[in-house]
Structure formats: C-alpha cells, structure tokens
Amino acid sequence: MHSTRLVALTIATLLFFSASLTGTASAADQPTPGEQALKYRKSLYQVIVWNFGPMSAMAQGKIPFDQAEFATRASRVAALTPLLPEAYPPESRGVAGSDLKDKMWDNRADFNSKLQDLINESAKLASVAQAGDEADSKAAFFDTANACKNCHDEYRSDD
Amino acid sequence: MHSTRLVALTIATLLFFSASLTGTASAADQPTPGEQALKYRKSLYQVIVWNFGPMSAMAQGKIPFDQAEFATRASRVAALTPLLPEAYPPESRGVAGSDLKDKMWDNRADFNSKLQDLINESAKLASVAQAGDEADSKAAFFDTANACKNCHDEYRSDD
C-alpha cells in the first residue's frame, strides 16, 4: 500500500521537497545555505510577528480583548520561538539583507541566553493566556515583548 | 510592577508590533492587507518546507533516519499547518507574486477540505513519528507529502 503511495509522488514533488533544502542544490543561481537560512529566519519572524500583532493591539486596548483569539495566538508564538536558534547557523554570518549586528557572532552565548528568555516568556504567555485572565494575559504579553526588545536593543541594527 | 514593565517598552517597540499588522498603517508605501497576507502565507510555507526538507531526505533514504530529529520536525509541521487557513483571506485574491490559481476562490470549500487533509495528515505524522517506528514514520511522511501534492496539483500554478 505504501509503495503505491510512493509511486504516486512524482519525481518533481520529491525534488520540490528536498533539492534546495538539504544542501544538495548545486546550480549557480541557487541560494547559498547562508541565504537559505536567512530566508528561513525572516520567514519565522514574519509568522511570529503576524500572530504577535493582534495580541499587541489587545494588550494596548486598541481592539477588544478576545480571550480565545489571544490564547490561540499565544500558543502559536510559543510553538514558533523554539525554532529560532536553528535559524542562526554560522554560514548565515554576513549574508546581505539581515538586520543582525555582526557582533552577535562574538557574543553567541549572550544571544542564545536572550533567545532562551524569549522562548521561556512565550511559553509562560501561552500558559497564562490559556488560563484566561485578561490582566495576567496582558502582563505576560508585555513580558514577552520585553524579551523581544532586550535582544533587539543589543543585536538588531534598525530599531 | 506591570506598569513599570509597560513604561520600559518604548513607543517605537509598540509601533513595531502593531502598526503594519493590525491594518492601521496608512502611508502610501505600506503593503496592503492583501500583500501582508501573501507575505505571511509565503513565510508560513517557507517555515513548513524548511522543516519538511530533512524529513523528506530521511524518508527517501538520502540521509540516515534520525528518529529524534524526524519527530521534532514532524511536531513543528503539525503546529504550523493549522495556521494556513488564515493565510488566504479574500483581500489577498489577485495580489501579484502568488502561485495560487485564481480558480481557488471559486472552489473555496474544496480548497479548505484539502487544507484540512494536510492538517490531519501532519497531525498523524507527528503522532506516528513520536511513537518512533521508522517504516511507519516514513509512510506517514509520504501521506503528508501527498496531501501537499493533492492541493498543489489543483490550485498551484507552477508545479
């Protein structure tokens, strides 16, 4: 049964899922591993920030607090932040288009510690948001936002 | 205590997390809501595919099967696929730079059903991968990849 399923997958589909993502691409116009990692990193932040946005608006009272939506988005962010450490491999150092300050590479332990703070705060946020108290949820949001800011202040060049 | 934390968040940080993501941006050079949604959609797929890649290579025997890594990446994909439905809001119809066939908008129920298949298969993949059997994990991977392909065949223009 499974071999039938395998045959149903075309070569094109298999290539789509493996060629550019496992370091096997060799064509000159393929992105380098560092460029691929930067694209992954930016995509990851984009997905995080998209979900952070409505929580931010609720925490600031710009839109009504919706406990279910807040908890859903907090849960997503908590699932996403643990993916960040992999998005900063050494081969991405110096790749054009990044806002990362180069000094991070000489302060990796501190940077990793700040990433871990974000992971911890976002896990706490998801837990508090699930419990459902509005004031506690907003406070946990600002703790998480501060964890973002602490790292941006030190290692991001444009804010 | 929380007010202290709030003060510590600069106006700039608050704007960073809310301006472009809650529809309040008004400057002419800001992306439209449709463009923002397309960027979110592409970012989401990028994060999914990055994690799909090593599973694909393992499933095809191109790299050794690593149960822990396979299970971690399967868990990530299962957390990410439920975010996809939100990434196709009506305002993103016709936005430049998308591979989505326009006919999707007239077949939304079928499209949603195919997305749900992917969500279901990726949840099963995460569960099977966590249990740890290599053959079962690879079979569940191909089931998930087929769920991707079923939707691409119908609604994606370039593969």
Domain total in chain B: 1
Please state the ipTM of this predicted complex. Answer: 0.84
3-state secondary structure A13-33: HHHHHHCCCCCCCCCCCCCCH
Q: Which residues of chain B have pLDDT under 70?
A: 1-28, 159
Helix (H) or strand (E) holding B108: helix B108-131
**Domain contains A109:** yes
* Residues of the domain holding A112: 32-89+99-155
Pairwise CB contact (< 8 Å): A49 & B149: no
Neighbours of A121 (CB within 10 A): 23
* DSSP letter assigned to residue A9: S
Give the per-residue pLDDT at B158: 75
Give the per-residue pLDDT at B28: 67
Q: Round to whole Å and give the CA distance between B48 and B74.
A: 10
Chain A partners within 8 Å of B13 (Cβ):
145, 148-149, 152, 159
Give the per-residue pLDDT at A158: 75
Single-letter amino acid, residue A103: K
**Domain contains A8:** no
**Domain contains B23:** no
**Domain contains B20:** no
Chain A partners within 8 Å of B47 (Cβ):
40, 43-44, 47, 80, 83
Is A11 in CB contact (< 8 Å) with chain B? no
Give the per-residue pLDDT at A27: 60
Nearest CA-CA distance, residue A13 and chain B, Å: 7
Neighbours of A82 (CB within 10 A): 17
Q: pLDDT for B86-127, tens place per residue? A: 999 999 999 999 999 999 999 999 999 999 999 999 999 999
**Domain contains B14:** no
- Give residues with Cβ within 8 angstroms of B7, minimum separation 6: none
**Domain contains B11:** no
Q: What is the pLDDT along chain A (159 residues), one digit of tens a residue?
A: 343 333 334 333 444 554 444 444 456 689 999 999 999 999 999 999 999 999 999 999 999 999 999 999 999 999 999 999 999 999 999 999 999 999 999 999 999 999 999 999 999 999 999 999 999 999 999 999 999 999 999 999 974
Give the per-residue pLDDT at B20: 42
Closest Cβ opposite residue A142 in set B9, B36, B54: B9
* DSSP letter assigned to residue B102: G
Give the per-residue pLDDT at B10: 38
Single-letter amino acid, residue B116: Q
CATH number, residue A132: 1.20.120.10
Q: Round to whole Å and give the CA distance between B139 and A109.
A: 39
**Domain contains B65:** yes
Is A30 in CB contact (< 8 Å) with chain B? no
Pairwise CB contact (< 8 Å): A47 & B40: yes
Is residue B51 within 8 Å of A17, Cβ to Cβ? no
Look at the pTM and tell me if it is higher than 0.80.
Answer: yes
**Domain contains A12:** no
